[in-house]
Amino acid sequence: MSDQEHHALLARIADALERLAPPEPRDDGFNEADAFVWNAESGTLKAVHDVQHVPLDLLKGVDMVKKLLLSNTQRFADGLPANNALLWGARGMGKSSLVKSVHSAINREKPGSLALIEIHREDIGSLPGLLSRLRGSDRRCLLLCDDLSFETDDATFKSLKAVLEGGIEGRPDNVIFYATSNRRHLMPRDMMENERSTAINPAEVVEEKVSLSDRFGLWLGFHGCDQPTYLAIVQAYVEHFDLKIDAADLRAQAIAWQTGRGARSGRVAWQFIQDLAGRLGQRLLR
């Protein structure tokens, strides 16, 4: 066999071995960024260098939950015991915004102390693999799953239960898990009622369904805001971005906007501010 044929054979063998045992995926600058998105398909972390967040003092009407979440997250960032957190309740009241704002506030005080990793709802099944990757890291990692909920015939919640608490390995000491949801127990009520009506022991069905939310040691409820709170949120944004508008006009326009939407929330207030700034010809500079 000639040298050329020998090299070609060795190259084919090397290619075959690489296909059988591909190199471990490399994370995207894990020690160079403070926020990432988990890509379950490739098993990698994609760095996010500019996280969209709201300053903590602009989150109005959620003072108590803001204090509790900030305290819990700060303890975790300092290497102390802390709980997984479930932020549940009304739409648009700042559940995911609060998590990102708390993360930003903590890293502002101590740069690089906490990595925020977003995992999508449909990728929850890959959570054990992600935790395995993070277990050997020396970074404190906050996992966030936004809008987490489960539907009928979705068994993913069982694997999530084992990962959060109760599995052999359990949650790594350097990882904490936060989830937001419109549902307090992460399951639709009709799903629980249907299964309870056909079960031999209805109480056991309910116990199994609510046992997932029990894995979160910290429950933080978000409720719809009243008109004074809504107007306070609008006013805070106006002052923060220095929007030029008469106070009476601002109040009238803000109320008309929420009436047209048929709802009051932090999200509705922010959408009004974007519309107002556009009409005023002013940019919303962060």
Domain ranges, ordered by start, for the chain: 35-222, 227-280
Q: What is the structure's pLDDT at 10?
A: 72
Which pLDDT does position 196 carry in this prediction? 47
Which is more confident, 121 or 36? 36
Strands of the sheet containing 44-47, edge to edge, are 44-47, 35-39, 115-118, 141-145, 175-181, 85-89, 218-222
Residue 164, beta-bridge partner list? none
CA distances from 112 to 52, 105, 116, 229 (A): 17, 11, 10, 34
Check: CB of residue 116 under 8 Å from CB of residue 139.
no
Q: What is the pLDDT of residue 31?
A: 77
Q: For 192-212, what is the mean pLDDT?
A: 53
Spatial contact of 144 and 117, defined as CB atoms under 8 Å apart: yes
Residue 252, pLDDT score: 97
* More confident position, 162 or 200: 162
The whole-number pLDDT of residue 163 equals: 73
Q: What is the mean pLDDT of residues 163-189?
A: 76
pLDDT of residue 262: 92
pTM, to two decimals:
0.80
pLDDT interval class at 127 (50, 70, 90) = confident
In CATH, the number for domain 35-222 is 3.40.50.300
